[in-house]
Every structure is written in structure tokens, then in C-alpha cells.
Structure 1
Amino acid sequence: MTNLFSSFDPSTSLSMPINWLSTLIGLIVIPSAFWLVPSRLSSLWNKVISILHKEFKTLIGPSSTGSTLIFISLFSIILYNNFLGLFPYIFTSTSHLTMTLTLALPLWLSFMIYGWINNTMHMLAHLVPQGTPPVLMPFMVCIETISNIIRPGTLAVRLAANMIAGHLLMTLLGNTGPMIPNSMITILLITQILLLILESAVAIIQSYVFAVLSTLYSSEVN
């Protein structure tokens, strides 16, 4: 590694950004039989989708006919890319703001455009929380507006930062391997395995958080 962040460099030895193809490698890796022939894996995934559908439907409200599909798809693609990045020599696309902002910004922008065009009074009412004293109303409008504008940024940065942090920690610990005595190798391996388990949990949690927050943002414009 030339520097600490070179493991997140999208360029390859050919000086071409073909590492981004790892985002679409699932189309090749996941066989068509997974979708056609019922198996334990497909049954498990159908169960996960069913649970997510019920939860997102509760969050969005009664007007959620079919709209949970986009959030389930969002959860699936982020979860897949997060897990793919845990394998050696595979590029983690979700650790880049290019990927995460591409997911967060269009979603937030579409919610805002829809809300301000169709439910203008509802959106204006959201700028002043209920029970705010009249003196504080101008300040609350400024605070709520800023917090609304930075939403896509917080969504994108949260996902990218969590992916980078865990991967960097594992890279730093892995690079100390040749320099430590043999008696410490076992401790290092156990630590790396525990970190890998933690990163697997983070991969699931972060994709779920991204999808749930997107769902909550969409429910506010209805």
C-alpha cells in the first residue's frame, strides 16, 4: 500500500476504474436457479423481504401500496455491496460517497419535490414543531430547514464512514502481522475474526438504517 487509503482506490493496475464492476457482479454470482427453484436460501430471503415489507408499510402508513418495494431493493443492494466488501481483493463500493450520494440524493430530492408540490401546507407545518413559542419560531424554521437540507449528506456519510472505519481498522491490524512476535499471532487472528463478525453486523445494520431512514423521510411528505 502506498498510503492508508489505497485499499479504497477505485483505480486498478491498468489505471482504469473497473473496480466499480464489483457492484454488478451479483448478476453473475447469483445463479438464475436461485429465483426459479425454491431452496432454503430463497425461502429465507423471502421471509426477510416479508418482514421488511410489513415494517416499512407500518412506517409509511396506509398509502404505501407498492412503495415498499423501492426501499426493500435499496436495502438489498446496500447489504449485498457491504458484504461483498468483506471478501479479500474485492472493491467496497459503498465506502465511497460517489455510490452512497447517488442513492441518497435522488431519493431525498424526489421526496422534497413531491412534498412541496402536492402537500405544501403540510411541508410548511413541519418547519415549526408543535408547541414552539412564537419567539423561537424563526430560529426553529432555520434549524429545521438546515436539518432537512443536510439529510442526504448525513445518509451518505454515515454509510460510507462506517464502511471505511471497519475496513481501515482491519487493514491496520493485518499490516502489523509481519512485525509482531509469533506469540502474538494467535491474539491477532482472534481479534481479526471478531472484527470480521462485527463488520458483518455493521453491514446489515447500516443497510437497514439507510432503508429505514429513507422510509421515514418519505412518510413525512405524505
Structure 2
Amino acid sequence: MMTNLFSSFDPSTTIFNFSLNWTSTLLALIFIPSLYWMMPSRFNYIWNTIILTLNKEFSLLLTHKNASSTLIFISLFSFIMFNNFIGLFPYIFTSSSHLVMTISLALPLWLSFMLYGWINNMNHMFIHLVPLNTPTALMPFMVLIESISNMIRPGTLAVRLTANMIAGHLLLTLLANMSSSIALWLLPVLLCMQILLMTLETAVAFIQSYVFSVLSTLYSKEVN
């Protein structure tokens, strides 16, 4: 029995001092289509289509010089999407709903972009702190505002993904707990609401992984 609503997001199932809930991140390897088929399956065809589409879109966001780095963002999209999708199954811990997981993805990316930008393109990074046509009196404030906005980027990336995944799971948990206390004639209505919410959560699993990877792509573009 859950002690509170957030206990479903607590990775507390352990054996030999090893958290079993975090092993759900390895389940994504099962869903990755294998390349060792003589004839590609439909799932393999769909997945290749998604990868090619993402490659074209990320290549437009990045410069032609750095178009080959789309592999990083496609891999990031795949990892987050599979973890979001697996978390929709019962009794599987959604690792992407945990802030430790999301911040460990966002912070190294942001640090690598900042280090690369300040080491190789220092003048461009200084120019980026002051938007074009900014009045001279407002320049110190704009530098402060732009610096703060750059520093909170990994936090906003992590919190956005975590909050969106937790919100849907909480609603599903609340609706499931209501089933034991409502009238029988309301059960079909509750079931329809749960089906609609599960459909929405499936869409959110794809959308949030796409948003995370696209924002990371845009952040990398700014330092080049």
C-alpha cells in the first residue's frame, strides 16, 4: 500500500543494496530494433523512418559544419522516449520522472556546450550576452539577465521533463484510487477517462523527448 502519492516514484525496491527500479532504464534495449534480420520488420522500418526524419530536422537546426553531431541528439531522443514509454507499463519505475536522471542528462550537455563556446568562441559568447540594438543604459542588466537565463537552462530542461512525467502518472494514480470508492455506474466513465489519459501520456512521452532533444540542439547551435 502506498504511503503517499509520490511513493510510486521512489526507487526503493532493493536487493543486495542495488536499486532494482533503476534497471528499468536497461529495458529500452529490448525495444531497440535489431539490425541482424535478413528482412527488416515493420517496427525496424518505422524506427528508421523516425531516425531519418529527426536527422533532417536536426540538420536544419545545426550548421552544415556540425551536421554530423545530430547522432548525439537522436540518441538522446531515443533514450528518453524509450524510458518515458516503458514507464507507462504497470509496476515499472519511470526513471525519466526522477530529477536525478534528468539533471544527469541536461547538466553534462549544458556544461560541454558552455566550455566549448567559451574556449573556442569567446567573442561570440560575449556578444550573445547583449542582444542587438540594446540601449547602452540597459546593457549591464541585459548581461545579468542573459547570464542567469544561461545558468538555469539545465535546471529548466530537467524540471520540465520530470514535471510532465510526474503529472500524468499522478493523475492516473488518483483515478485508479477512486475506483474503489465510487458508484458502479460511474466505473465506465472512469475507465474512459483513464484510457484517454493513457493516450495523452503516450503522446507526452514522445513530445517531451522531442522537446528535450530540440532544445539541446538549439543550445548547441548558440555556441557555434
Q: Which TM-score tier does this pair reach, normalised by the shorter chain?
A: over 0.9
| Pair 1:192 & 2:194 matched | yes
1:85 alignment counterpart: 87
1:4-26 C-alpha deviation (Å, 9 max, x unpaired): 10100101165742110000122
CA distance in 2, matches of 1:130, 1:19: 49
1:24 alignment counterpart: 26
2:36 alignment counterpart: 36
CA contact (8 A) 2:28 2:79 kept: no
2:115 is matched by which residue type in structure 1? Answer: I
1:50 alignment counterpart: 52
- 1:30 Cα offset (Å): 3.5
Ranges of 4+ aligned residues in structure 1 off by more than 3 Å? 13-16
1:54 is matched by which residue type in structure 2? Answer: K
- Alignment map for 1:1-222 (pairs within 5 Å): 1-12=2-13, 14=15, 16-27=18-29, 29-30=30-31, 34-37=34-37, 38-222=40-224
TM-score (norm 2): 0.95
Runs of 5+ unmatched residues, structure 1: none
CA RMSD of aligned residues (A): 1.2
CA distance in 2, matches of 1:44, 1:170: 29
- 1:63 Cα offset (Å): 1.5
State the percentage of identical aligned residues: 65
1:172-200 C-alpha deviation (Å, 9 max, x unpaired): 11101010010000000000000000000
- 1:40 Cα offset (Å): 1.1
1:186-218 C-alpha deviation (Å, 9 max, x unpaired): 000000000000000110100000000000000
CA distance in 2, matches of 1:58, 1:31: 26
CA distance in 2, matches of 1:26, 1:4: 26
Relative distance call for 1:118 and 1:192 in structure 2 (3 A) is: same
CA distance in 2, matches of 1:97, 1:31: 25
1:46-103 C-alpha deviation (Å, 9 max, x unpaired): 1110010011011011112420000000000000000000000000000001100010
Q: Secondary structure at the match of 1:161?
A: helix
2:195 is matched by which residue type in structure 1? Answer: I
CA distance in 1, matches of 2:204, 2:48: 22
TM-score (norm 1): 0.96
Runs of 5+ unmatched residues, structure 2: none
CA distance in 2, matches of 1:61, 1:134: 31
The worse-fitting range, judged by mean Cα deviation, of 8-17 and 184-193 is 8-17
- 1:105 Cα offset (Å): 0.2
Q: How many residues align?
A: 220
- 1:108 Cα offset (Å): 0.3
